[in-house]
Chain A
Amino acid sequence: MPISGLVVTIQRPIECGAEVMRRVQADARFTCGEPCGDRLPLVLEAEDDAAARQAHDWLHSLPGVAHVDVAFVGFLDE
C-alpha cells in the first residue's frame, strides 16, 4: 500500500484554495497538514499504485490546483 507525501500548490489568487482544501479534507485518502501560503502538504494513502496515480491525477484536476509535487514515497514490500 503506497504512502506518499505530497505538496499541492494552489493557483493564485489563493482564495480558490478554500474549495480545494474542503474537497481534499473530505476525502478519506488524504490526511492534510498545515497549509503554508499557497502550499498544502498532505499524505496520500492508496490501495495500490494504480489508485495512488488516480488520486494524484484527481488532485491535479481540481480547479484551483496549479501543481502537485511529491516529497516522499514509502514502500511497503512490493
Chain B
Amino acid sequence: MRPHDLDRRNFLKMSALAAATALAHAQAGLPDDDALRETEPLPDLDVTWNKAPCRFCGTGCHVQVGVRDGRVVAIAGDQLADVNKGLLCVKGYHVGMILYGKDRLKQPMLRKRGVLEPISWDEALDIMAKRVMDNPAGFAFYGSGQWTIPEGYAAQKLMKAGLSSNHIEPNARLCMASAVTGFLSTYGVDEPAGCYEDLDECNVLIMWGNNPAEMHPVLFSRVIDRRIRGDDVMLIDIGTRRTRTTQYCQHYLEMKPHGDLAIANGIAHLLIKNGTYDKDFVAKFCNFRTDTEPTTLNGQAIDFDQYKQKVAQYTPEYVEEVSGVPAEKIRLLGDLFGRRDVRITSVWCMGMNQHTRGTAINRLVHGVHLLSGHFGKPGDAPTSLTGQPSACGTAREVGTLCHLLPGGRLVAKEEHRRDCEQRWNLPEGRIKAEPGYHTVQMFEKFCTPTDEGGDITTVFVQVTNPGQTLPDVHRLLQAKEKLKDKFLIVSDVYPTATTALADLVLPAALWVEKNGIYGNSERRTQQWFKMVKPPGEARDDTWMTIALARRLYDLGHPGMKDKDGKFLFQVTNDAGEEVPVWDWEHYYDVNVDRALYEEYRPFTHLKHKNVAPYDELVQARGLRWPVVEKENGVWQETKFRFVAEYDPFVTKEEGVKFYHSVTEDNRALIWFCPWEPPEESPDSEYPFWLCTGRVLEHWHTGTMTMRTPPLKRAMPQAYVEMNRDDARKLALSNGEIVLLTTRRGELELPVWIDGRGRPPRGTVFVPFFDERLLVNELTLAAIDPHSKQPDYKKCAAAIRKISHTQTAQKT
C-alpha cells in the first residue's frame, strides 16, 4: 500500500468515525446537538467539505461532500440538515460516485450517417440556433424536476419571453402534475401546507399508494425511529401490492386499482353519518364542490347537504365491493379520522399522481383531512411527496409547465402576462396567451409527420431521459427515427435511451460540477456551490441555454432583446459591467445562478411563496418558503402554511386562512369526485394488471445509479414481480423468462416470485430503471383530464412462459 493510500485510508476512517459518532449523538437525542456538531467537525486532512442537497429524490437530504485533489472522495450525511439529521439512504451515501462512471459524455456529438461524431461547441450551438431560426414555432424545450431553479428559469425565459412560445415542459408532468391540480383546485394555490415535521408529530401515518420505505427511506426512517424510541405510531398502507413499507405497517389495505377514490369517499360518508366530522372547521374554513360532466378544473359549487347526498352511496359495503378493501377497514379509517385525540398525516407520491383520476384522488384526500379537521396542526396534514429533487422548486414554482409563468402565474391570464412582461422589460404582447403542448402532446406532435400536423420539429431535452420514461415510448419517441425532418437535441451526462435517438448530444455538468439550487417536497429551497470541474468539455445546462439565446441574438432574433435592446440574459458584475456569460470562458466570472435566482425571486411574492435571498440560502441547509424578513433583520422560514401560529400571512384573529382560495373567501374546497373504473382493465386476452415503479437502489431511469457499482450489483436488472399462485398456474419458477405483453409492446423479463414486493393474484410489477428492458414500451399513455399526467400504474398485460434461460432481453 502506498503512503498516499494509507493517508487516505486513515482519513476515511477518521471521517467515518466522526460522522458515525455525530449521528449517534444526534439520534440519541443529546440535549445540545448543535454544540456537539461544532465540537466534532469532519476531519480536514486536505479535504474540503461543503454542503449540497442529494442529487436524487425529492426528500432533499443534505450531504457533506468531501473533495480532495479536485475529486469527490467521500460523502457523509449532514448533521446540520433538518431534513435528514445526518442520515442518508443507500443511494445518498453513494451519490458521489455518480460523477465517475466510465462513459461520461465529454464532448458535443452530431449524428452523421447514423453515427454520433464529435463536433465543437461552436458547431453545436450554430446547429441549434439554425434549427430555431428556421422554425421558432416548431421548437420545444423539455426539461425536468432535476433542472436547478436557475436552469429552469433560464429555459422558461428563453421560451416564453424570448421565443414567444409556450412549448416548454418538465418531465414533472409525468410525476406530480396531478398533485398540482389537486392543490390548486382545493386551496387555490399549489404545494403542501405541512412539512416533514408532521412525520415527527403524527399518531397515524397513512400511505396512499406509497412505498416510502424504498422511495423516501430517510423520511420513513423518521417514523420508524420514533417507534424504536417507544412512540406509539400507527402505520397504514393502502396499496395494490405489498411492499417493504407494508412490513412495518399495522394495517395493510389492499385495494383494486382506482379503489382509492371509493375509499376516500367512504371515509367522508362515515364522518358525516357518524357525526364526527369537524363541524366548526368546516363551517368556518370550507366550501363544497363537485365534479361535473364534462369535468372541469373548478367544478360546480354545491352545499353540504348535496355533498352529503353524493357521498351517501359510499357505504363501507359499497366501498368494499368497488375497492376490494374489507368494510371493517373502511370503518377503521372512518373512526380514526373521526377522532380528535389523534393526529393524522397522509402521504402519497406516484400512486395517486400517475392515475387517470389523479386530480380527483388528490382532491379527495385533501377533502377527507379538511372535513375531519385533521389539518393545520403539526402532525395533521395531507402531504404529497415528490420524486425529483426540484420538482417543486423548478417545475412548480418557476413554472416550467406549458401553461405557467414564474411564481404561479398563468399564460392564459392577461394580467399575469403583462406582469411578467413588465418584470422582464418586454414589449406588451410578447408572451403568448395560449398554453403550449403538454408532455404527451409535445411528443405526439414531434413523432407525427410534419405534413400531417406534427408541428414540433425540434426538441431540446435537458436533464431527463424521455426515451425511457415516456409512456408508450414506441409511439411517443422511438417513432421519431423514421421522420427525417425531426431533430432531437439532448443534453445529458451519460449515454441514455434518449441520446440513442438524438441527432445532437451535448455533454452536461452534473450536480456539484456546477452551482445549483433545488426546491424539495416540503417547500425548502436549497443551494450549493460548484466543487469539482466537469469532465472534458461538459458544461452547465444554464450556460447552454444562455449560449443558445446569444447565438439567436447574434443572428438577429428579435425576441432575444428586451424593450431597450438589451440581451435577455444580461448579467453584470459588481461594477455594473456586462459580463459575456454566453462565452464559457467567462461563465464563472460572476455567479450566474445568483443573478438569475435574484431576478426570479420577486416573482414568488404574488402567491406568497416568498423564497429566501440567495445569500441566506448559502448559509442554510435550505429554507422553507414563505421566508420573510422579521423586524430584527432575521429571515424566517415557515413550517406550516395557512395557520396563524406559523404562517406570517395569517393573523392570530384569522386562525386559519386559505388566502388564495378558489372561491375568494379564504376557504378551501372539499370535493366530491366519483369513483370511476380505470382506463384499461384486464380481460381474457390481457388478464393481468401491470404496475410499474422504482426500487430502493435505483433512481428513476438508472442512468446514475446503474453506474454506481455497489448499487448496480445490489440490483443489476429489471424483473417482473409475480404472485406465487399465478406463477404456479403458469408453471413458472424464479428466474425463468417470460414474455410480458400489452396492447403496445412486449418485453422478455425474468420472473421474481414473492420477492421484495408481493403483488396479489392477477397483478405484476416491473421497475423502470433498466434501460435494457424498457417497460415503458408497454405502458399506457392515457392521461388525467386536468393534470395531463399519464397513468403508469395500471394497464392490462399478458404473460407467457418462453424459456428457462436467465438472460432477459428486449424483443
Contacts and interface: CB of A to CB of B under 8 A. Distances in A.
Interface of A: 1-7, 9, 11-12, 31, 33-45, 49-50, 52-53, 66-67, 69-76, 78
Contacts of B11: 74
Contact of B74 (A11, A37, A75, A78): A75
B8 A38 contact: no
B75 interface: yes
Contact of A71 (B66, B76, B713): B76
Contacts of A53: 710, 714
A57 B378 CA distance: 36
B228 A72 contact: no
A71 B22 contact: yes
Contacts of B29: 37
A3 B16 contact: yes
Contacts of A38: 28
B714 A39 contact: no
8 contacts: A5-B20, A39-B23, A72-B15, A72-B74, A73-B75, A74-B74, A75-B74, A75-B97
B30 A5 contact: no
A74 to B, nearest CB: 3
B12 interface: yes
Contact of B20 (A6, A12, A50, A66): A6
Contact of B228 (A9, A33, A35, A73): A9
B66 to A, nearest CB: 8
Contact of A36 (B28, B96, B225): B28
A17 B16 CA distance: 22
Given A5-B15, A71-B87, A72-B93, A39 B74 contact: no
A41 B230 contact: no
A74 B66 CA distance: 9
Given A7-B23, A31-B17, A74 B28 contact: no
B94 interface: yes
Interface string B53-77: 0000000000000100000011111
B21 A33 contact: yes
Interface in B697-748: 709-710, 713-714
B594 interface: no
B107 to A, nearest CB: 23
B459 interface: no
A53 B88 CA distance: 16
A71 B77 contact: yes
Contacts, number: 126
Contacts of B88: 70-71
Given A72-B76, A74-B74, A42 B20 contact: yes
B17 A43 contact: yes
Interface residues of B, number: 45
**Most chain B CB within a 10 A radius of its CB, from A5, A36, A76, A78:** A5
Contact of A5 (B8, B17, B94, B713): B17
Contact of B23 (A35, A37, A41): A41
B652 interface: no
Contacts of B22: 71
Contacts of A39: 23-25, 27-28
A40 B74 contact: no
Contact of B76 (A5, A36, A67): A5
Contact of A31 (B8, B13, B94, B96): B13
**Most chain A CB within a 10 A radius of its CB, from B18, B24, B74:** B24
A69 B21 contact: no
Contacts of A50: 713
Given A72-B75, A72-B76, A78 B8 contact: no
B14 to A, nearest CB: 9
A76 B9 contact: yes
A5 B228 contact: no
B248 to A, nearest CB: 12
B635 interface: no
Contacts of B17: 5, 31, 33, 41-43
Top 3 nearest A-B pairs by Cβ distance?
A5-B16, A74-B12, A41-B20
Nearest to B13: A43
B12 A3 contact: yes
Given A9-B27, A72-B77, 5 more contacts: A5-B19, A9-B228, A43-B16, A73-B94, A78-B709
Nearest to A10: B228
Nearest to B77: A71
Nearest to B19: A72
A70 to B, nearest CB: 5
A2 B713 CA distance: 14
Contacts of A5: 15-20, 23, 76
**Most chain B CB within a 10 A radius of its CB, from A31, A43, A44, A71:** A71
B74 A34 contact: no
B5 interface: yes
Contacts of B710: 2, 49, 52-53
Given A37-B28, A43-B13, A76-B5, A7 B75 contact: no
Contact of A49 (B15, B74, B87, B709): B709
B83 to A, nearest CB: 15
A36 to B, nearest CB: 4
B74 A73 contact: yes
A72 B28 contact: no
Contacts of B21: 33-34, 36, 41
A73 B24 CA distance: 16
**Most chain B CB within a 10 A radius of its CB, from A40, A41, A66:** A41
Nearest to B93: A73
**Most chain A CB within a 10 A radius of its CB, from B16, B22, B714:** B16
B164 interface: no
